C-alpha cells in the first residue's frame, strides 16, 4: 500500500505479514541451518554476557527466547540476530550496580525494569519517527566507545581468568587492583582460563583452515569452527567434573535452574524509574545504533533496505518482551548477525528457530552446566570483545580531522576513566560542541572573477580579478546566532581597510538559513555601511532563504539590490572588470 491512511501511519508495521506469505521449504532449510549455528554460538555467549551484566547465567538464556520472537514479528531486517550483547550487558551492570547488589533479587528486578524502560523508549521513538536522533552519535564516537568498552570488558574479565576476588571499577582501578592482588592468582583457574583463551583464539584463526586441509567442505568447516566455544565449554566442564577441580578452588557456575523463562513483572517504583531512565536512554540509543549499523550493512549486500523507525519499534518490542520473561536489555548483535547472514539465513524465521534452540537448552541443558568453570565463560567474553577493540580510528581521524580526533579521544578517556555512561555522554557532548564551535567561526572569503568565466573564487587561492570599488564576500556558512557577529566584524574590518569602496556584495550561495539573530546582524551591517556611504547588496540568495526574507522589512530598507547571480551583480556594479 503506497498511501496508507493517516491513522495507519501511526501504527507499527508488521513485516512478518509480507515475508511470511512467501515462505517455502527451500527458505526453511537455509533458515534452519543458520539457526543451528547461531544457537551453538548463542548458548555460551548468553550465559557469559548475563554474568558480565552481573546476572545469573540463566537470565542470558531467558533474554534469548521471547526477544527473538518479538523481533521476528516486527523487525525490518531479514538477518539481524537479537539477544544479549557485550556492550549493552556492560551498560546494564553499570546502570544497576548503583541501586542493588549483584546477585540479589532486587538486582534482577531492576534489570527487567531497565529492559521495560528501554523497550518503552525505543517503541515511542519509533512511533514518533525519532530514529534520526541516533545520527547525533558520530561514527568516530561510536568507534571510540566500542573500542573502550571492549577494553573495559576484557579488563573486567581478567579477575575471573586469574581466580582473584575484587570489586569492579574503572579501567585503571581494575588494572591497578589486579597488580595489587598478584599474589592471590589461582594457578589452576589461570590454567583453565588461559587454556580456554588460547583454544578459542586458535578456533577463530586456525581451526577452519585446518578442517579444510583435513578434507571438510568449507561450510561444514565453518560450522564446526563456530561451535568452538561450545567445545571449550564441554571440554573444561568435563575436566572439572572428572578431576574435581572445584575442590581445588576453581570457581564453577553451579546450579542453573531448569525450565521455561519465567513470567516476570518489572518493578513499578517511581523512584527507581527516575534513576534508571537516563541509563535506559543511553542503552536504547547505543543498542539501536549497533543494531541499525549491522542491519544496514547486511541489507545492502542483498540490495534490501531496512527502515530505522521500524527497527526502533522492533527493538522496543524485543525489550518489552524481555522485561516480562525474566530477561534484560537486548539488541541486535554484530558478530552474531554476521554469522547468521553468512550461514545463509533468509528470513527472521531463523530467529524463531534460534529461540526454539535456546528454549530446548534451558529446558534440557542447564544441569550439564553445573561444573562449567567461570574462567571459561570469561575467556569466551574476552575473545568476543577483542574484535570490538580497534584504535585505528585514532590514527585516521588525526590525519583527516582534528575535531573528530578530539571527539574520539574524549570518548576513550571518558569511558576508560569514568565508565560507559559518562564516556558516551562526554563523547556526544564534545562532538556537538566542536561542531557548534566550527559553525560559530564561519569561513568568509573575498572572491574575484575567474577570467573568461562567470565563476568566482577565493582571491587568496585563485588568479582572479577584483575592483577596488566593489567588495565581494562569499559567506561559507548558514547565518545563525552563534556566527552572525563574526560576519559583522568581518564586514566592518574590510570596509575600514578600503577607502575607495562603494559596494559590498554578499554572495549567499552557501547560506542555507538566516535566523532572527542573523537578520538583526544584516540590518545592523546595512545601517552601518549606509552611514559610511557604502551600499550593501546580496547575490545568489537561495529560494527558501529569499522566501523568508520577503516577509521582513529588511529587503524594503536595503538600499542595494538582490542579484540572481553574482556575475550579474558584478556586471552591474563594476562592469570594468568583466
Residues that bind its own copies in the complex, under the rule CB under 8 A: 132, 135-141, 300, 305, 396-397, 399-401, 403-404, 431-432, 435-436, 438-443, 453-455, 457-458, 461, 476-478, 480-486, 492, 509-513, 515-517, 519-520, 528, 542-544, 548, 551-552, 564-565, 567
Task: Tell me the residue length of the chain.
Answer: 578
Q: What whole-number distance in Å separates Cα of residue 141 and Cα of residue 421?
A: 13
Nearer to its own copies, 440 or 561 (CB): 440
Q: How far is the CB of 457 from its own copies (least distance, A)?
A: 8
Q: Characterise 452 by phi-psi region: left (phi > 0), alpha (psi -120 to 50), beta (else).
A: left
Cell of 9: 501511519
Q: Are 519 and 552 in contact (CB under 8 A)?
A: yes
Q: How far is the CB of 460 from its own copies (least distance, A)?
A: 8
Q: How far is the CB of 542 from its own copies (least distance, A)?
A: 7
Per the listing, cell 561450510 goes with 219
Nearer to its own copies, 107 or 456 (CB): 456
Nearer to its own copies, 269 or 513 (CB): 513
Half-sphere exposure of 352 (CA within 13 A, CB side): 13
Q: How far is the CB of 288 from its own copies (least distance, A)?
A: 13
Q: Which residues of 528-541 are buried (b: 16+ CB within 10 A; e: fewer)?
A: ebeeeebbbbbbbb
Nearer to its own copies, 220 or 300 (CB): 300
Nearer to its own copies, 148 or 487 (CB): 487
Nearer to its own copies, 418 or 567 (CB): 567
Query: Considering Cα of 34, then 81, then 112, then 60, what sign does the dihedral take?
Result: positive
CA angle 231, 237, 238 (to 5 degrees): 90
Closest alpha carbon to 394 in 146, 143, 150, 172: 143
Nearer to its own copies, 300 or 364 (CB): 300
Nearer to its own copies, 363 or 436 (CB): 436
Q: How far is the CB of 530 from its own copies (least distance, A)?
A: 13
Q: How far is the CB of 543 from its own copies (least distance, A)?
A: 5
Q: What whole-number distance in Å separates Cα of residue 93 and Cα of residue 111?
A: 9
Nearer to its own copies, 121 or 403 (CB): 403
Nearer to its own copies, 13 or 401 (CB): 401
Q: How far is the CB of 406 from its own copies (least distance, A)?
A: 11
Q: How far is the CB of 48 from its own copies (least distance, A)?
A: 31
Q: What whole-number distance in Å separates Cα of residue 352 and Cα of residue 312?
A: 19
Query: Considering Cα of 303, then 307, then 312, then 313, what sign does the dihedral take?
Result: negative
Q: How far is the CB of 528 from its own copies (least distance, A)?
A: 7
* DSSP per-residue letters across 273-311: HHHHHHHHHHHHHHHHHHHHHHHHHHHHHTT----HHHH
Q: How far is the CB of 365 from its own copies (least distance, A)?
A: 42
Task: Name 299's Cβ contacts closer than 8 Å, sequence gap at least 6.
Answer: 77, 78, 79, 305, 306
Q: Are 373 and 245 in contact (CB under 8 A)?
A: yes
Amino acid at each position: 500500500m503506497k498511501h496508507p491512511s493517516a491513522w495507519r501511519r501511526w501504527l507499527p508495521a508488521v513485516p512478518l505479514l509480507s515475508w511470511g506469505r512467501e515462505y517455502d521449504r527451500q527458505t526453511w532449510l537455509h533458515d534452519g541451518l543458520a539457526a543451528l549455528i547461531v544457537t551453538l554460538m548463542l548458548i555460551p555467549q548468553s550465559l557469559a554476557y548475563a554474568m558480565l551484566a552481573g546476572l545469573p547465567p540463566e537470565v542470558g538464556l531467558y533474554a534469548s527466547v521471547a526477544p527473538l520472537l518479538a523481533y521476528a514479528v516486527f523487525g525490518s531486517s531479514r538477518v539481524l540476530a537479537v539477544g544479549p550483547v557485550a556492550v549493552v550487558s556492560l551498560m546494564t551492570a553499570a546502570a544497576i550496580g548503583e541501586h542493588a547488589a549483584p546477585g540479589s533479587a532486587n538486582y534482577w528486578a531492576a534489570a527487567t525494569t531497565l529492559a521495560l524502560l528501554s523497550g518503552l523508549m525505543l517503541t515511542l521513538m519509533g512511533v514518533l519517527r525519532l530514529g534520526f536522533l541516533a545520527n547525533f552519535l558520530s561514527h568516530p564516537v561510536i568507534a571510540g566507545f566500542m573500542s573502550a568498552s571492549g577494553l573495559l570488558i576484557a579488563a573486567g574479565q581478567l579477575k575471573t581468568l586469574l581466580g582473584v576476588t575484587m570489586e569492579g571499577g574503572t579501567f585503571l582501578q581494575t588494572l591497578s587492583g589486579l597488580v595489587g592482588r598478584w599474589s592471590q592468582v589461582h594457578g589452576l583457574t589461570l590454567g583453565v582460563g588461559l587454556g580456554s583463551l588460547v583454544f578459542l583464539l586458535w578456533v577463530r584463526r586456525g581451526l577452519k583452515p585446518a578442517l579444510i586441509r583435513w578434507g571438510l567442505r568449507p561450510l561444514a568447516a565453518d560450522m564446526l569452527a563456530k561451535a568452538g566455544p561450545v567445545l571449550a565449554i564441554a571440554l573444561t566442564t568435563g575436566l572439572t567434573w572428572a578431576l574435581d577441580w572445584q575442590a581445588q578452588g576453581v570457581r564453577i557456575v553451579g546450579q542453573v535452574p531448569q525450565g521455561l523463562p519465567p513470567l516476570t513483572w518489572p518493578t513499578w517504583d517511581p523512584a527507581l524509574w527516575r534513576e534508571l531512565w537516563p541509563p535506559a536512554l543511553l542503552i536504547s540509543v547505543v543498542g539501536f545504533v549497533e543494531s541499525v549499523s549491522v542491519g544496514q550493512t547486511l541489507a545492502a549486500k542483498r540490495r534490501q533496505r531496512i527502515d530505522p523507525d521500524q527497527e526502533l519499534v522492533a527493538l522496543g518490542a524485543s525489550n518489552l518482551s524481555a522485561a516480562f520473561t525474566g530477561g534484560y536489555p537486548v539488541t541486535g548483535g554484530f558478530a552474531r548477525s554476521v554469522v547468521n547472514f553468512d550461514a545463509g539465513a533468509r528470513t527472521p524465521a531463523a530467529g524463531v528457530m534460534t529461540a526454539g534452540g535456546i528454549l530446548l537448552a534451558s529446558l534440557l541443558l542447564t544441569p550439564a552446566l553445573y561444573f562449567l568453570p567461570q574462567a571459561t565463560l570469561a575467556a569466551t567474553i574476552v575473545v568476543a570483545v577483542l574484535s570490538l577493540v580497534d584504535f585505528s580510528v585514532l590514527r585516521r581521524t588525526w590525519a583527516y580531522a582534528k575535531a573528530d580526533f578530539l571527539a574520539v579521544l574524549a570518548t576513550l578517556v571518558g569511558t576508560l576513566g569514568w565508565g560507559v555512561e559518562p564516556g558516551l555522554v562526554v563523547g556526544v557532548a564534545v562532538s556537538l560542541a566542536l561542531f557548534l564551535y566550527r559553525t560559530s567561526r564561519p569561513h568568509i572569503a573575498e572572491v574575484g572573477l575567474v577570467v573568461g568565466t562567470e565563476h568566482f573564487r577565493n582571491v587568496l587561492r585563485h588568479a582572479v580579478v577584483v575592483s577596488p570599488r566593489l567588495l565581494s564576500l562569499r559567506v561559507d556558512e548558514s547565518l545563525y546566532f552563534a556566527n552572525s557577529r563574526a560576519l559583522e566584524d568581518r564586514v566592518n574590518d574590510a570596509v575600514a581597510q578600503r577607502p575607495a569602496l562603494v559596494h559590498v556584495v554578499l554572495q549567499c550561495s552557501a547560506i542555507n538559513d538566516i535566523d532572527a539573530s542573523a537578520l538583526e546582524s544584516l540590518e545592523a551591517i546595512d545601517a552601518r555601511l549606509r552611514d559610511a556611504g557604502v551600499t550593501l547588496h546580496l547575490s545568489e540568495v537561495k529560494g527558501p532563504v529569499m522566501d523568508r526574507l520577503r516577509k521582513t522589512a529588511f529587503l524594503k530598507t536595503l538600499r542595494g539590490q538582490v542579484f540572481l547571480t553574482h556575475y550579474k551583480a558584478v556586471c552591474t556594479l563594476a562592469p570594468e572588470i568583466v
